[in-house]
Amino acid sequence: MLNRANGFQLTLGDPVDRIKGKSSATLSLKHGLTKKESQIMNTRFACSLITLLGVLTLKPAAYATFHFMQIEQIIGSVAGDTAAQAIQLRMRAAGENFVSGGKLVVFDAAGLNPITIVDPVTNVANGAVGDHVLIASATFPSHTMPAAVPDFTMANLIPASYFAAGSLCWESNAGTIFWRLSWGGAAYTGSNLGNTANDLDGNFGPPFGGAIPSSCASALQFQGSATDFSTNNAADYLLIGSPIVFLNNAAASFTVIPPPPTFTITAPDPSASEVPATDTGKFRITRMGCTDSDLSVFDTIGGTATNGVDYRRLRGNATIRSGRPSVTITLRPIDDTISEPDETAILTLSPNANYIIGSPSTATVTIHSNE
């Protein structure tokens, strides 16, 4: 019922949301209008009704306020801390901030054993195209600068056993999958299917070819723009390294700061002799943490033996190559004619801003004379 100031009365026989699709609607105009005025009113009303029906036709279904969403970025751990996880969603359309209608669910390598990562009970404030939603673990903010302020805290972590292969889905509370990110290549044998709202054929496969990294600071990131559909996970996603930046719904940015690796030194072969020449000693420097780049470590050389005189000169530094957890330094005694007691070569790790010195930080090799 709509009352006008000039006194006429408009009655709709069906609720507005039921007008769409009907062959006719029961309408009556009650007023002492002239025939011409009635025709004008009928024309205006018809135009208004057509406009309303157009709006209703374009209006998405009830889930449309959260379903046009990408899983834009995911990090499974920071430098081995598998409790430091974050997932960043991105809106493909305006008005997608009513995220209480959706949830994030992760599946294992067979597409089974679902675990709900987060099931928001509130919405976020901003809903423009490209706006983000940040879901993070309680530990994640301690690994970012500044400390991350997520929109939602994970109720459950992605299990480390799912890192090799699995599938993460943004879905409705009723279970309709609107975006799927699977990883592990052929090791993932579960479903790649989902709704066609964000992937035109409803198939998000094949999966991304690799695992979710756990030893360094790497994120799996969607390479398309905010309005892009999914093509397939293998083509759409790429592992990225530093700087890794996450954004929340307020557009605040948080850069992941992985802790520097920790170095220790040992002597797996702590004894060497002047003769035979093959009787060498060995030091081993080991790093714990990220191994995705070359890194030099420095040491001071001490002991009763003289560097370059009693053994071949050691440089006081070594480089651990990318992908390797350690480097071995070989101590080669020099055979002389001097009768002398056992002597020692001691290597001690030196401080540096690029790493942390762990324990043990000193190692000793003993040199035996043949005279």
pLDDT tens-place string over residues 92-113: 999 999 999 999 999 999 999 9
Whole-number average pLDDT of the chain: 86
b (16+ CB within 10 A) / e for 36-47: eeeeebeeeeee
The answer, yes or no, to whether the previous bond of 159 is cis (omega within 30 of 0) is no
Q: Is the pLDDT of residue 88 over 50?
A: yes
What angle (nearest 5°) sits at the alpha carbon of residue 201, between those of residues 179 and 134?
15
Q: Calculate mean pLDDT across residues 76-85.
A: 91
Q: Is the pLDDT of residue 256 over 90?
A: yes
- Tokens 């669910």 belong to residue: 105
- Rounded Cα distance, 111 and 184, in Å: 12
pLDDT at position 312 is: 96
DSSP state string for 286-310? EEES--SS-EEEEEEEESSSPBTTT
| Strand (E) or helix (H) holding 18 | helix 16-19
Q: Calculate mean pLDDT across residues 324-348.
A: 93
CB 194 within 8 A of CB 172: no
If pLDDT is split at 50, 70 and 90, which confidence band does 323 have? confident
Q: Tens of pLDDT along 178-205?
A: 999 999 999 999 999 999 999 999 999 9
pLDDT at position 291 is: 78
